[in-house]
Amino acid sequence: MKEALFYTSQHDIVYCQLCPKACRISPGKVGNCFVRENRDGKLFTAVYNRVSSIHIDPIEKKPLFHFYPGKQILSIGGIGCNFHCSFCQNYAISQCKPADYYWLKDMTIGQIIEQASRIENNIGIAYTYNEPFMFYEFMLDISREARLHNLKNVVVSNGFVNEAPLQEILPYIDAFNIDLKAFNDLFYRKQVKGRLAPVLKTMETIAASGAHLEITFLIIPGMNDDLHEFEAMLSWIHEHLGENVPLHLSRYFPQYKMTQAATPEDTLMNFYRLARKKINHVFLGNVYTLDKANTYCPHCGYEIISRNRYQVKPDGLSGTGACLNCGEILPGIIR
Ligand code: SF4
């Protein structure tokens, strides 16, 4: 166990300040994420140096489509989450306690950096699978070390983190994919046990920092598929993050506690068409029949990057990030 960052204590009660849940934790108890524990009036993280999953993935799987397209990234996860979504796709690692998860493996920062450095075509390390801010201290230390080894750092997160810890780690993170679960605070409160405003704030802070940002929105039939609400989400993204932030509209499939049927293809296409009116780069994910995974030049419509599952060809993009057909510089595509 390592002492956690970002907390205060009074009379042996600790107050965690990592995320907006602001847990008040009595001695011997854990916070709402199950991985931060009060031991004798000090807050400890139970997931430092502990890894539940480690794989080499295509960067497109995060998903990041405009950040080193076609490259690979060593992806690691721990356990725990500050959200409790009934539709979680990784509930086995997100909704458990460290003692219940027997597959957690001890790994040092040196071992992770060494593994990332020796894999061919690997650009760096992605913190993903469960909510990576739950292993904040480990992620911060790995990302600092990774920078010294010329490795990129990528965070795939629900964005529910406080401003101070985010600011501390931002200088080391090159790219984020933030999961926007709905544009509705009631949905956040009821369905995931969070709040919308801090997630929006996180995305604004990332965009202002200059780190690469992409957004994923999982469309769940009957839960967050109101088109007026989606229009409001698009207007907010356009106004606060700009028209070039890539937006991944992802198909939901029944998972964990949810039995609701998968998102119909018609719904995905309706959302796609609406999104394209405001956002330049919109992609459909978790569906391979609709062919909406390519990047096109917003200026002339030329195909810049073609994708067939994880076969990626950035053949329409110059080395300086311009469209090879019209010469327009395409902001936000890093290769
Ligand atoms: S990180 Fe965990 S313990 Fe800390 S406030 Fe959030 S849910 Fe609570």
Enclosing H/E stretch for 58? strand 53-58
What's the confidence (pLDDT) of residue 84?
96
Beta strand pairing status for 247-251 and 282-285? parallel
Mean pLDDT for the chain? 96
133: phi then psi, degrees, rounded to nearest 5: -65, -15
What's the confidence (pLDDT) of residue 180?
98
Does the structure show a pLDDT above 90 at 67? yes
Domain boundaries, the chain: 2-45, 50-293
Nearest Cα residue to 133 out of 29, 206, 236, 61: 206
Residues near ligand 1 (Cβ within 6 A): 16, 18-19, 21-23, 31-33, 36, 82
Q: What is the mean pLDDT of residues 40-56?
A: 97
Enclosing H/E stretch for 57? strand 53-58
pLDDT band at 154 (very low <50, low <70, confident <90, very high): very high
How far apart, in whole angstroms, are the C-alpha atoms of residue 318 and residue 16? Answer: 47
Question: Under a CB-based contact definition with an 8 Å cutoff, are residues 93 and 79 in contact?
Answer: yes
How far apart, in whole angstroms, are the C-alpha atoms of residue 281 and residue 214? Answer: 10
Does the structure show a pLDDT above 90 at 310? no
What's the confidence (pLDDT) of residue 315?
94
Distance 304 CA to ligand 1 centre (A): 42
Distance 20 CA to ligand 1 centre (A): 8
How far apart, in whole angstroms, are the C-alpha atoms of residue 249 and residue 6? Answer: 34
Q: What is the mean pLDDT of residues 290-311?
A: 93
What's the confidence (pLDDT) of residue 312?
95
Q: Closest Cα to atom 3, ligand 1: which residue?
A: 31
Does the structure show a pLDDT above 90 at 102? no
Q: What is the mean pLDDT of residues 202-208?
A: 98
How far apart, in whole angstroms, are the C-alpha atoms of residue 137 and residue 110? Answer: 15
246-295 pLDDT, tens digit per residue, is 999 999 999 899 889 999 999 999 999 999 999 999 999 988 878 899 99
Does the structure show a pLDDT above 90 at 320? no
Question: Under a CB-based contact definition with an 8 Å cutoff, are residues 26 and 13 in contact?
Answer: yes
pLDDT, greater one: 331 or 44: 44
User: Hey, which residues does 156 pair with through a beta bridge?
Assistant: 177
Nearest ligand 1 atom to the CA of 133 is 1
What's the confidence (pLDDT) of residue 1?
87
Does the structure show a pLDDT above 90 at 194? yes
pLDDT band at 100 (very low <50, low <70, confident <90, very high): confident
Mutation test residue for ligand 1: of 6, 13, 36, 140, the one with most atoms within 8 Å of CB:
36
What's the confidence (pLDDT) of residue 58?
96
Question: Under a CB-based contact definition with an 8 Å cutoff, are residues 247 and 284 in contact?
Answer: no
Pick the CATH number of 50-293 from 3.20.20.70, 3.40.50.1780, 3.30.420.40, 3.40.190.10: 3.20.20.70
Does the structure show a pLDDT above 90 at 97? no
